[in-house]
Each structure stands twice: as C-alpha cells, then as structure tokens.
Amino acid sequence: MATGEGILFQEAEATHWALIILPLALPVVYTYALPAHLLGKALPGCRAEVVFGKNKKYAGIIKSITTQKPVYPTKFIQNVLDDAPLLYHQQLALWEWISRYYMCTEGEVMAAALPANFKLSSETILIFNEEAGDDFSHLSDDEFVVAEALLLKKQLQLTEVQQILDATHVYPVIKKLIDKNVCFIWEELSERYKIKKENYVLLHPDFSTDDALSQLLNEWTRAPKQMELLLAFLHLQKTEGEVTQPALLNKSGATVAQLKGLAEKGILLVEKRAVDRIRTLPKSVKVDFELSAKQQLCLDDVRNQFTQKNVCLLHGVTGSGKTQLYIKLIEESFSAGKQVLYLLPEIALTAQVIRRLQKHFGGNIAIYHSKFNNQERIELWNKIRTGEVKIVLGARSALLLPFKELGLIIVDEEHDSSYKQQDPAPRYNARDVAIYYSALFGAKVLLGSATPSLESYFNAQQNKYGLVYLDERYGGIELPAIEIVNTRQVAKKGKVMISPQLKEAMQQAFDNDRQVILFQNRRGYNPYLICSACGYIPQCTHCDVSLTLHKYSNKLHCHYCGSTYPKLVSCPACGSNDWLEKNFGTEKIEEQLEEDFSKNRIARMDVDSVRGKTAHDNLIQLFEQHRIDVLVGTQMVVKGLDFDKVSLVGILDADGLLSFADFRANERAFQLMEQVSGRAGRKHAQGKVLIQAMNVQHPVLQLVQQHDYEKFYQYEIANRKEFFYPPFSRIVMLTLKHRDKAIVSAAADKLAMLLRQDLKDLVIGPAAPVIGRLRNQYLMEIMLKLPKEPGMSMTYKNVIRNHINLMISEKLYKAVHVIADVDAN
C-alpha cells in the first residue's frame, strides 16, 4: 500500500479496472482501480464516485471494465452511485464517436448529454438563482459581468469566474452575488434529484359502502366546515377519481387544520405518493385520418426505400402534409414495440407539433428540450431509458437521450442551421449524428424538408440516401404567388420598412378576415445608431460590434455577449444630440404597424418577446385562435408552423439575407424565403407573398419566385464544386482566442505554418473574422478545406490536433484557446 497526494493506492489488491469518463474537457479517459466489494455493482453506464487531482470528487460514467493492469498507479473508485446503468452501450459508443468526429472530449459530450443533477462534483460551483430574473441594474460592474455569464450558462466554476474577471481573488464579488440572491454555491458531492411527493386524500375504508357513508352524513351534527370539506372531497372523487390535497383545499376553501380534523376522526386518510413533475395524458393510439392519393404513394415509396437504405430524404413542398406521413410511420414503429425520436430545429415548433401528435398518441409521447428544469429532465431520462416512453419529440439535445429500442428517427426541417450546436462543445450537427446513432440500433432515419440542405440532396442524388418527392400541397391548393417589390423605386431616404404595396395587401387580407406574417431577420428596435455630426457608432466595450437599441428596455444591447448600456443622449465623440437610426428591427416594425393598423391586433415573436417555458406556446395558440392579426418576427416564424388563416406573408429585407459573407448565404436565403413563403395559403385558398428588395435581379430571388428548388440546387452546386466547398469538401474552422491581440495573431500565424507542413493548400488563413473581438477576447480564424477521401477523416483530424498541441506547448501561446468546429456552418 502506497500513499500519493493523500490518496491510497492498493495495486496488489485490484484485479479489475474501470475507464471513467469525467464531465471535464480532458484529452483522455482515466483508469481507476475497482475494489473487490464493487465488482458486481460496477457496470458500464453507471456513475462512479472518484477523486480527480488532489481532492476533487466527481461522479464519472463507467465506460468499460478491464482486467488489464495499467502501467501506472491508479486511484480506487470510492463508490458506485447507481443500481442500474443510466445509459446503454449505444450511448457510450455515440459519445466516443462524437468526441472523435467533432474534435472534442468525451467529458464534454457527457456534460452536454447528462441532466445537470446527474453530474456531481465537489468543486466550487456557482448556481444561478432562476428567481433572480435578468434585471442586474443594481449590481456593480464586476457583479454584473458574472451575473450575465450565470444567466447564459446557469452555472459557473470558480476558475471560470476568475477568467471572466481576469483576477484570482474573486470571493468578495461571489459573496455579494450570494447576498443579493443572484446565485448560490454548491460544493458537496450529493444526489440532487429528489422524487416529488404529493399528499393524496382517501376515504377511510370504514365508509367505503354507501350505507356507511349515508349513515355518517345523516348523523352529522356539528363542524359545518368539515362537512363542506367532506362533500367537496366526495364530489372530486366522483369527477376526478383521485384527489390531491391542494386540489381539495382549493375547491372547498378549507384549511389544512380542518382536513387534519377529519383525518383524526378517522373519516379521511392522507398519504404521500411519488408523482411525476410532468403531467401526461392517458395512453392511447388513434390515427384516424386518411392520406391523399399522392401522400399514400409517397408513404409507400418511403417504405420501399427503407427496405434498401437506412436513410431517406422526403422532399415535400410547404403545406404538402409531411407531418401526416410522419404520424403514419410513427404508428408503425410504435406498433412494432420500437421507440421513435422526432427532432425539430426549434423549441418554438415543439408546442404546435406536440398538440397534433398528442391527438393521435396521447400519453405515449413525451417532449424534451432545454426549457425543462433539471428535475423534469431526470424523470424523462429515466422513462426513456426504461422504455416507458416510446415517442419523444424534441430539439437537438433530445438526440443524446438513453433510448433502449430505437426504431425510427425523424429529422423535420433537416436543412435548418439550428441543428448545429455552436457553443459550448460538442459542436455537433444533430442531423448527421442522428444518422450515426440510428446505425447503432439498426434504425431508420427520415429527413424531411421543403428546402433540403445541399449536402442531403447531394447524398440523395449520389444514391447514398433514398429520395421521395411530395410535390403538391394537401387539398390541391397552389403554392403562394410571389411578388417582388423594388424598394429602390419607393425609397426616399434610407430603407423602406413597409412598402405601399405591402400595406395595401395587408389591408386586403384584414378585410377578408385573414392573418398576416411579416418576417425580418433582425430583432431589437434599431440595429445601430449613428451620430449625424461625426459618424460615431456606439459599440460594445467587450466586443467589436455595434450596439442595438431595444425600445422595451430603452437600452443599447450587445447581441453577442449580452451586455447592456444606457441609451446615449449626446455623442461622446463630438457632443451632438442628433442621432440617425439605421435600419430596422422587429420592435420598430411592431411600432410602425401599431401606427398604420391601429385597429388590428399585432404581436412580435423573437428571442426578446418569448422568454420562459410556455411563452412560445401561448403566442402560437393566440395566433391559431385568430386573436392576433399580424405576427412580426425573426426566424422563429419561418420554421414549419401551420396556421389556417394566414393569406399574406411579407419579407421585409431580402437584401439583408443575401448579403452575408458566407459560402452558405445563397442557400440560407433561399431556404428562409421559401420556408416563410410556405406559411401563406396553407388552407382554403392560394396565398400571396411580397418580398421587398433593392437588388431585384439577384438570381436567388428569381428562383424563390418560381419555387424552383431543383434549379437552385443546380445553380448552387456548381458554385460549390468550383470553389471546393461542401458537399465536395469538409470544412474545419479553427478559432483562436486570447485577450492580447498581438499574441493571438502570432499564435494563428504559427499554427497555420505548422498545419501547412502537412496539409499544404488545404489551409486558408489566418484572418480576423468579421467580428474580431468578443467578450474581451481577440479572435483569429484558420479554415481547413479537407477532401472527403475514404478513411482519411480521422488522419486529418489527428494531424490538426497534433499541431494545435505543438503550438500551445510554447510558453508564449500556452493561454491561447483553440476551438475546432467540424462541418462549420
């Protein structure tokens, strides 16, 4: 027995060792010795309590067990925390693949996959107090920066707080934040998940017969309040079946003391029961609609494709009824005893789709996304792991759930960029991961879109995926007529917000009792202000970006780091009070609509207006019920929403969509405009779309007007091939970060030089990105265009990793942070 760093090593006694994944960005998976008394309990997928470093405890996941003795001394596992594995071998295999393909660590995948309450460590962690809200105006500068970071990340390690404040002595700031109830500290290794219990009220068995109950009521002579309480209980029991204490007290207006009195008399019983935090509907399956002839042909074609290929692309125009095909396929998988995962790109979409699916599958379906609290996530995790929940609807994160018998994955709106995780790692694309994940189960994947991504359509054209077309709208309704409005002809000064043609079309829609959607891909009031005297533009002190004016807060906001600033009255550069408001965001459009259409009901749908778990659903239901006439919004209004009475869609600034410095700009612009156009005229009659633009001759606008995806694909794929962009290459974007501009520039030059030794002309850059500084960190980028050669993907990535490690091994560049983004958007 030897001692090291206060930890006992007992090598002679160990016969088995476990590979443990820790929720940390560690380059390797660490090995720990298994005590004899834990041999039968330690299974792959279970959590193990281990000590990492000198004295920090963590709950890691057992990846595998081995009898091969490591060549180095190992610490012992302290305890196994689970009686049964939290996940299966398929999830462990998925974690490993994600870490290898997306150039991250298995610990980062674990941190993203597991609900927070499963991840235990004794490290000092600040937890954000959700009740604190997001108004931090009363905080000092240092407190404000930490509070903003907590609002975004929900929890911060002590080391992260030190990095944010660029200081080692941060305890005074933390203490003040705790005193002001902005956060609290969590340090002990303990299970934070608690089973929710609720008091249920029952009638004592002595009064279970009608005669006994009648005798009790007839002989009642006093305590009228208790009598009212008893009668309320009997009514609830008859109508609801089971009676909870809160429901009973609410209905009867009685007190806990009066209920206790009836319990002491032996009339009622009160017992605690474990309850679900998420209420579910009764389990039922009722798929009672008929497909159109065209839909039935497509469904048969999808089934046929699945006999030959595991992945099928369903290219169906907007409003063609793709969801009905999904429901039929879900029913087939469910009947076969398999689980189904239905992925959507945005939480905003889940509310409307879940109501449609619940109508057919009742309580057999569950919804999973990031708005759920940690306790709710654990309950869903366990129900999916045991197979109790068969159908899961969710956004990107639902892909990491512990499915037991997965039979089908549906990736709706598969083209959407929201499927790509940005920060933090793992930076995975849920569509591509779904295809790998399905192979681990032998499951099928259906990709659905009216505007498929070029990569997916290319794979279908190469016969890698099956391809099925659904080229007519449900009910035979025509695709909307698209009119392009040349805003150069109506603009007098600056950009036109709502053209006369659009105003006239809106009034016509209102006269016909129809609804309108307006799309503008900028939130806020004004994207930026400029001093008319000297040209000064207010910028964020932490980032190299202009600030956006938000009317609701009357402050200037940075959309990148979340900082807010008071609205400027006079120019700090020249003292002038004359500000020009450049361009327009959704807030300003909403204000203009309230002036132009004062009698109509107007609402806004963007990140600022739909905060909270139910905010999306509430707004969508109001629009569905025609209690809103005009919905103005950002990309949230584009994606797959289905409204019966929308006859007109307005795209207010097409030039802004087409002017991004990005090789995907044309593809994104076509998809956004075609998708938002698809919200018009889905029922009853053909809809109308007005697109406002200055560059009306842009080829993408002409193709959107014709609803011609095939021509757009041929146009864009030729450009991609000529310039060696995806799907002909694989993009890996390396972003280097540091607080010192000179150091990050030198590091980028050094790394690019190292990479060119092996990758030659595949290396592009380095160069500063459009936004060269974020959160006080200067940025440099290196782009790698890697050939898609069979078997070479991991070789290229290993070369990249090795050169990154070589660069940061130099003392000058040790603090440079390098982020690898594989298949960068």
CA dihedral 230, 236, 237, 240 (to 10 degrees): -170
Backbone φ and ψ of 604, nearest 5°: -120, 140
**Spatial contact of 402 and 103, defined as CB atoms under 8 Å apart:** no
Whether residue 153 has pLDDT greater than 90: no
Distance, in Å, from the CA atom of 556 to the CA atom of 159, rounded to the nearest integer, reads 30
- pLDDT tens digits along 2-46: 333 334 444 457 899 999 999 999 989 999 999 988 988 999 999
What 8-state DSSP symbol labels residue 76? Answer: B
Of the listed ranges 20-34, 334-348, 384-398, 532-546, the least confidently predicted one is 532-546
**Spatial contact of 562 and 540, defined as CB atoms under 8 Å apart:** no
Q: What is the DSSP string of 700-711?
A: HHHHHHTT-HHH
Residues in the chain: 825
User: What confidence category does residue 72 fall into, taking pLDDT thresholds of 50, 70 and 90?
Assistant: confident
Most confident of 8-12, 368-372, 579-583, 787-791: 787-791
Order of strands, edge to edge, in the sheet holding 268-274?
Answer: 243-244, 197-203, 268-274
CA-nearest of 393, 422, 390 to 407 is 390
Backbone φ and ψ of 44, nearest 5°: -55, 135
Helix (H) or strand (E) holding 412: strand 406-412
- pLDDT tens digits along 404-416: 999 999 999 999 9
Residue with tokens 């405890």: 57
- pLDDT tens digits along 119-140: 765 566 788 888 788 888 889 8
**Cβ-based neighbour number of residue 427 at 10 Å:** 22
Order of strands, edge to edge, in the sheet holding 183-186?
Answer: 155-157, 125-128, 183-186
Backbone φ and ψ of 388, nearest 5°: -65, -40
Distance, in Å, from the CA atom of 636 to the CA atom of 700, rounded to the nearest integer, reads 22
Backbone φ and ψ of 765, nearest 5°: 110, -165
CA dihedral 514, 518, 523, 525 (to 10 degrees): -90
**Spatial contact of 701 and 656, defined as CB atoms under 8 Å apart:** no
What 8-state DSSP symbol labels residue 418? Answer: G
CA-nearest of 422, 467, 297 to 735 is 422
Distance, in Å, from the CA atom of 95 to the CA atom of 88, rounded to the nearest integer, reads 11
Whether residue 385 has pLDDT greater than 70: yes
- pLDDT tens digits along 498-507: 889 999 999 9
**Spatial contact of 17 and 66, defined as CB atoms under 8 Å apart:** yes
On the CB side of 210, CA atoms within 13 Å amount to: 0
CA-nearest of 689, 695, 691, 699 to 655 is 695
Residue with tokens 């009792």: 513
Higher pLDDT pick, 562 / 457? 457
Tokens of 694: 């200055």
Whether residue 285 has pLDDT greater than 60: yes
* Residue 122 CA: distances (Å) to CA of 130, 415, 500: 22, 41, 63
Most distant CA atoms of the chain, gap in Å? 97
Q: What is the pLDDT of residue 609?
A: 59
**Spatial contact of 437 and 113, defined as CB atoms under 8 Å apart:** no
Whether residue 682 has pLDDT greater than 70: no
Distance, in Å, from the CA atom of 196 to the CA atom of 274, rounded to the nearest integer, reads 6
Strand 339-343 vs strand 406-412: parallel, antiparallel, or unpaired?
A: parallel
> Chain-wide mean pLDDT for the chain?
85
Mean pLDDT of 162-176: 79
- pLDDT tens digits along 467-482: 999 988 877 778 888 8
Backbone φ and ψ of 107, nearest 5°: -65, -35
Q: What is the pLDDT of residue 178?
A: 83
Whether residue 647 has pLDDT greater than 90: no
Higher pLDDT pick, 55 / 750? 750
Distance, in Å, from the CA atom of 419 to the CA atom of 435, rounded to the nearest integer, reads 13
Of the listed ranges 79-93, 244-258, 521-535, 726-740, the least confidently predicted one is 521-535
Most confident of 270-274, 641-645, 693-697, 722-726: 722-726
Most confident of 148-152, 191-195, 578-582: 148-152
Distance, in Å, from the CA atom of 622 to the CA atom of 635, rounded to the nearest integer, reads 19
User: What confidence category does residue 176 fall into, taking pLDDT thresholds of 50, 70 and 90?
Assistant: confident
Q: Omega before 500 cis (within 30°)?
A: no
Helix (H) or strand (E) holding 302: helix 293-308
Residue with tokens 């994606």: 639
CA-nearest of 6, 4, 114 to 60 is 114
Q: What is the pLDDT of residue 6?
A: 35
CA-nearest of 86, 2, 82, 6 to 48 is 82
Q: What is the pLDDT of residue 574?
A: 87
Specify the 3-state DSSP secondary structure of 185. strand
Return the CA Rg of the chain. 30
Confidence (pTM) = 0.78
Residue with tokens 């330690």: 42
**Spatial contact of 642 and 558, defined as CB atoms under 8 Å apart:** no
* Residue 581 CA: distances (Å) to CA of 41, 135, 571, 634: 66, 26, 14, 20
Distance, in Å, from the CA atom of 402 to the CA atom of 44, rounded to the nearest integer, reads 13
Q: What is the DSSP string of 22-37?
A: -SS--SSPEEEEEPGG
Burial of 626 (0-12, 13-18, 19+ CB in 10 A): middle
What 8-state DSSP symbol labels residue 582? Answer: E
Whether residue 58 has pLDDT greater than 50: yes
Of the listed ranges 43-47, 168-172, 235-239, the least confidently predicted one is 168-172
Q: What is the pLDDT of residue 414?
A: 95
User: Which residues are registered as beta bridge partners of 429?
Assistant: 420
Whether residue 485 has pLDDT greater than 70: yes
Higher pLDDT pick, 703 / 586? 703
Percent of the chain with pLDDT over 70: 90
Higher pLDDT pick, 236 / 98? 98
CA dihedral 86, 87, 92, 97 (to 10 degrees): -120
Strand 528-531 vs strand 311-316: parallel, antiparallel, or unpaired?
A: unpaired
Convert 645-694 into a string of H (helix), E (strand) and C (coil). Answer: CEEEEEECCHHHHHCCCCCCHHHHHHHHHHHHHCCCCCCCCCCEEEEEEC
Whether residue 108 has pLDDT greater than 70: yes
CA-nearest of 418, 427, 430 to 735 is 427
Tokens of 699: 């080829």
How would you classify residue 399: left for phi > 0, otherwise alpha for psi between -120 and 50, otherwise beta?
A: alpha
Helix (H) or strand (E) holding 732: strand 729-738
